[in-house]
Chains A and B, each alone.
Chain A
Amino acid sequence: MSEETGQGEQAVELRGVVKEYRRDEFSVLALNNVDLDIPRNDFLALMGPSGSGKSTMLHLIAGIDRPTSGRLTVLGDDIGGMGEKELAAWRSENIGYIFQTFNLIPVLTALENVELPLLLTRLSKKQRLENAKTALDIVGLSDRLDHYPRQLSGGQEQRVAIARAIVTDPAIILADEPTGDLDAASAKEALNALALLNEQHGKTIVIVTHDPHAARYARKTRYLEKGDLLPEGQLPEDWFATTAPT
Chain B
Amino acid sequence: MAIPLSYNFRNLFVRKTTTIMTALGIALSVAVLVGISALVSGLNGALAVTGDPLHVIVMRQGSTAELNSTVTREQFQNLKFIEGITEENGEPMASLEVITVFNLPFRSNPDEVANVNVRGLPPMGIRLRETAGTLQISRGRWFDPGKREVAVGRGIFETNDGTSIGDKLNFGRGEWEVVGVFDAGKSAYNSEIWADANLLAVDLGRGGTLSTAMLRAEDEATAAALKNRVADDQRLLLEALSEREYYEKQTMSGQPVQVLGVFVSIIMAIGSSFAAMNTMYAAVARRAREVGVLRMLGFSRGSVLLSFLLESLLLSLLGGMLGCLLVLPLDGLGGRIGNFITFSITTFEFEITSGALLLGMSFAAVMGVLGGVLPARAAAREEILGSMRNV
Known A108-B7, A112-B6; judge A120-B298 contact (CB<8 A). Answer: yes
Nearest Cβ in chain A — how far from B5, in angstroms?
12
Known A107-B11, A108-B6, A112-B6; judge A117-B298 contact (CB<8 A). Answer: yes
Nearest Cβ in chain A — how far from B302, in angstroms?
9
> What string of 1s and 0s marks CB contacts (under 8 Å) between B1-39 and chain A?
111101100110110000000000000000000000000
Contact size range, A: 20 to 34
Q: Does B296 contact A (CB under 8 A)?
A: yes
Question: Which of A64, A84, A101, A107 lies in contact with B296, CB distance below 8 A?
Answer: A64
Interface with B: A87-95, A205-213, A217-225, A235-243, which one?
A: A87-95
Interface residues of A in 32-59 (CB under 8 A from B): 59
Known A65-B385, A105-B290; judge A85-B10 contact (CB<8 A). Answer: no
Q: Does B341 contact A (CB under 8 A)?
A: no
CA distance A107 to B10 in the complex (A): 6
Interface residues of A in 100-152 (CB under 8 A from B): 101, 103, 105-108, 112, 116-117, 119-120
Contacts of B300 in A (CB 8 A): 85, 88
CA distance A198 to B315 in the complex (A): 45
CA distance A112 to B6 in the complex (A): 10
| B: number of interface residues (CB 8 Å) | 25
Nearest Cβ in chain A — how far from B288, in angstroms?
11
Contact residues of A: prevailing secondary structure: helix
**Residue pair B296, A97 in contact (C-beta under 8 Å):** yes
Question: Looking across the interface, which residue of chain A has its beta carbon closest to that of B297?
Answer: A117
Nearest Cβ in chain A — how far from B15, in angstroms?
10
Nearest Cβ in chain A — how far from B386, in angstroms?
10
**Residue pair B298, A91 in contact (C-beta under 8 Å):** yes
Known A64-B384, A64-B385, A105-B290; judge A120-B297 contact (CB<8 A). Answer: yes
**Residue pair A105, B385 in contact (C-beta under 8 Å):** no
**Residue pair B297, A116 in contact (C-beta under 8 Å):** yes
CA distance A199 to B295 in the complex (A): 29
Known A59-B385, A88-B298, A91-B296; judge A119-B6 contact (CB<8 A). Answer: no
Known A108-B7, A120-B1; judge A103-B385 contact (CB<8 A). Answer: no
> What string of 1s and 0s marks CB contacts (under 8 Å) between B276-312 and chain A?
0000000000000110111111111100000000000
**Residue pair A105, B293 in contact (C-beta under 8 Å):** yes
Question: Which of A64, A107, A108, A120 lies in contact with B299, CB distance below 8 A?
Answer: A120
Interface residues of A in 68-106 (CB under 8 A from B): 84-85, 88-89, 91-93, 97, 99, 101, 103, 105-106
Question: Looking across the interface, which residue of chain A has its beta carbon closest to that of B14?
Answer: A107
CA distance A103 to B287 in the complex (A): 11
Question: Which of A99, A103, A105, A119 lies in contact with B1, CB distance below 8 A?
Answer: A119
CA distance A185 to B13 in the complex (A): 34
Question: Which of A93, A103, A107, A117 lies in contact with B7, CB distance below 8 A?
Answer: A107
User: When A and B form their complex, which 8 residue pairs have the shortest distance between CB atoms, in order from nearest?
Assistant: A92-B298, A107-B10, A64-B384, A119-B1, A103-B293, A117-B297, A120-B298, A88-B298
Hey, which bits of chain B sit against chain A, CB under 8 A? 1-4, 6-7, 10-11, 13-14, 289-290, 292-301, 384-385, 388
Extra contacts besides A64-B384, A88-B295, A120-B297 (5): CB < 8 Å = A59-B385, A64-B296, A89-B298, A107-B10, A119-B2
